[in-house]
Amino acid sequence: MDNVAVGPGPVTFEELVAVTRGGAGVTLTDEAQAAIGKARAVVEELAAGATPSYGISTGFGALATRHIPTEMRAQLQKSLVRSHAAGSGPEVEREVTRGLMLLRLSTLATGHTGIRLETAQLLADVLTHGITPVVHEHGSLGCSGDLAPLSHCALALMGEGDVRDADGTLVPAAEALAAAGLTPVELEAKEGLALINGTDGMLGMLVMAITDLRMLLKTADIAAAMSVEGQLGTDRVFAPELQAIRPHPGQAASAANLTALLKDSGVVASHRGLPGDGTQCNRVQDAYSLRCSPQVHGGARDTVEHAATVAGRELASAVDNPVVLADEGRVESNGNFHGAPVAYVLDFLAIVAADVASISERRTDRFLDKARNHGLNPFLADDPGVDSGHMIAQYTQAAVVSELKRLANPASVDSIPSSAMQEDHVSMGWSAARKLRRSVDGLSRVVAIEVLTAARALDMRAPLEPSPATAAVVRLLRSEGIEGPGPDRHLSPEIAAAVSLVQSGAVLAAAEEVIGELA
């Protein structure tokens, strides 16, 4: 895989995913190297001066009033990193830590941090060699950036702490660096602060969540189409002229997807009436969970794209304090490290995940109730009473949806003061990002169970034929060992297989191979 070139400009969503999930290495562009060198010259000039300069010749946070003599400044940077590497709890995922490091490198490449080129290059080399510092779940308040997580990464550059090598083996950082032919860095003035003061962790998790949600919302449209079809619902409510009178772009896209997915469905045609014969489908008022799918899925889409706009702005930012204004030859304190803009949309997306999962669970539940499933067996059971069918699959959905509602509670309103009241308002953006990851995972599980249940119902509608697109999804499930209707069997492995097919994008790909790319 080609390396991602990191320069003064923003990293793209695709580049971030290539590094975090694809294992791509990174290189610093010539422009980045020049910008880094120019900013470093400013820092060194200020470090040599007699006037105290925050982050260069003073303490940090509530200790910023102490002027640090020249001979103690290397120790100042080491002490900063060691003391701030105070995370606790389980290790976060490899992709999260790689995103953390990549985005910190991206800020270093802007020429606004005052890092030395050799230090930035070491961070790039660590990424390229697949060395992943151990970063813990707890420790960031999302203000002064993700201090503790980034400090664990900076600690590894110093050859201290633990890392995972490219094979995932836990080893001391010094050992991993030596095996890769890399030399630990001796931090100099401003460098410790430059390595740890950013919103990189919460931002990386935001970008990955947006990437996942864009795919999952298309997959939710597939699940909804299968449910509309399997429950003998009407597709007339998805007509473009109806969407046009409420012109939300996400709603229009979702409705267009549902129309395309249901095209040429024998099941829908069986109760639509014949063109020109004066008859019409008597199902003109389906339940909200069917009829309003484009409104809910579309609102979710528009929210995701708002979050993507915020993420794009943050990717184009240089987040550090103090910041180097190289053209003016000065260093200034600022508040750009505050994670509020990112934290808000992370919380917003958790609401989206919970609500899309909620409507998906409601569509699934309708399949199982004999009074509402239009002629299907209770619980889609083969021999109701002897068999329970998908009864407990819906319980699993309900349990996940209930948790997603709890996770939708915002983290960003829960500020706790720190650093002797110097840092008296914080974003909690890291916490918002961590719970969003759980929300996205939960959404994928709920949608997968809807797909699994709807596929069973469509099989039970035989000899009526589903649409070409939904039939392709049913075939995919059957090809992966998920059997059709029949006596009860161990259901958990089938749910796990369906979840894997949803999370990998295989369900989406199966439908798109038939009807083209969904909106």
- Given the structure tokens 């999952």, which residue do they identify? 216
Tokens of 352: 């989206």
pTM for the model stands at 0.95
pLDDT for the residue 61: 67
Beta bridge partners of 332: 323
Band (pLDDT 50/70/90 cuts) for residue 62 is low
Instruction: Decide if 232 contacts 282 (C-beta within 8 A).
Output: no
Q: Domain 206-318+350-417+431-515 belongs to what topology?
A: Fumarase C; Chain A, domain 2 (1.20.200)
Query: Beta-carbon neighbour count of residue 195 at 10 Å?
Result: 32
pLDDT for the residue 428: 92
| pLDDT surpasses 80 at 273 | no
For the ranges 139-148, 180-189, 383-392, the lowest mean pLDDT is seen at: 139-148
* Interatomic CA distance for residues 408 and 406, integer angstroms: 5
Maximum pairwise Cα distance, the chain: 93
Q: Report residue 132: phi and psi, to 5°.
A: -125, 110
| pLDDT surpasses 80 at 66 | no
| pLDDT surpasses 80 at 278 | no
pLDDT for the residue 391: 96
Instruction: Decide if 497 contacts 480 (C-beta within 8 A).
Output: yes
β-strands 136-138, 170-172 pairing = unpaired
Name the residue with higher pLDDT: 54 or 79. Answer: 79
pLDDT for the residue 276: 47
Q: Domain segments of the chain: what residues?
A: 4-198, 206-318+350-417+431-515
| pLDDT surpasses 90 at 67 | no
CATH of 4-198, one of 3.90.660.10, 3.40.50.300, 1.10.275.10, 1.10.357.10: 1.10.275.10
Mean pLDDT of the chain: 94
- Given the structure tokens 């950082």, which residue do they identify? 173
Band (pLDDT 50/70/90 cuts) for residue 367 is very high
Strand ranges inside 293-368, DSSP E: 323-325, 330-332
* The one catalytic residue among 54, 288, 344, 395: 54
Burial of 397 (0-12, 13-18, 19+ CB in 10 A): buried
Amino acid letter, 312: G
For 9, which DSSP code?
A: S
Name the residue with higher pLDDT: 282 or 119. Answer: 119
Query: Is 395 labeled as catalytic in the residue annotation?
Result: no
- Highest average pLDDT, of 165-169, 322-326, 414-418, comes from 165-169
Tens digit of pLDDT for each residue in 386-414?
999 999 999 999 999 999 999 999 999 99
Amino acid letter, 121: Q
- Residue 445, classed as helix, strand or coil, is helix
